[in-house]
Amino acid sequence: MSELPVAILSREGAVISGKNAESLNSRGYGTKSNGKLVLAPYEALFLVEKGVIEVSKKSGKKLTFQNLLQYFRRYDKNVWVKYLIYRDLRNRGYVVREGFGLGVDFRLYDRGDYGKEPAKSIVFGILEGKPISIRELSEVLRKVQNLKKKLILAVVDRRGEVVYYSLSKLSLGEVIEGAEV
């Protein structure tokens, strides 16, 4: 049995170097930095779960998926939601990259488009039961439309399943006009 590539844990995610870094980067993983590949926390979790890499501390101690998740949760309370959305989209065959800082968001590339075409959609994730204001949702939609992208709302339910909704226009006028008072 061959040894898995080892990424070294960092606050930003996990860092991997060598030919493994190049191979992972060509498949849409990580961000190149000083000849190394920095994997975001959700990418590192996904690759560990898939058995593609191992992650260890600088001391050499290998981490389990659960240890890794606990570590990343200290720095990002949304890492679990990001991971669930990322995993679901990757398992569906999409290349998913970090978004534009709107919250829990990703750039979504159509199958086969990564490296050839820009992302056509932005995925904005929310957790079922965690309220989001109409104002915040409207602001995200406006920003995404200014980027000339399509907004996909990814709702993670309590069982960890993800349901997707496409948003193109947010209007409450119709709801309010038809409501009985």
Q: What is the pLDDT of residues 10-36, one digit of tens each?
A: 878 899 988 888 889 888 899 998 889
Q: Which one of 3.40.50.720, 3.20.20.140, 1.10.630.10, 3.40.1350.150 gives the CATH number of domain 79-167?
A: 3.40.1350.150
In CATH, 6-73 is 3.40.50.720:
no
CB neighbour list of residue 164: distance below 8 Å, 6 or more residues apart = 123, 152, 153, 154, 155
Residue 93 falls in which region: left (phi positive, over 0), alpha (psi -120 to 50) or beta: left
**Burial, 3: exposed, middle or buried (Cβ in 10 Å; 0-12, 13-18, 19+)?**
exposed
CB-side exposure of 13: number of CA atoms within 13 Å?
25
CB contact at 8 A, 125 and 140? no
Model confidence at 104: pLDDT above 90: no
How far out from the chain centre does Cα 38 lie? 14
Domain ranges of the chain: 6-73, 79-167
pLDDT of residue 12: 80
Q: What's the confidence (pLDDT) of residue 7?
A: 94
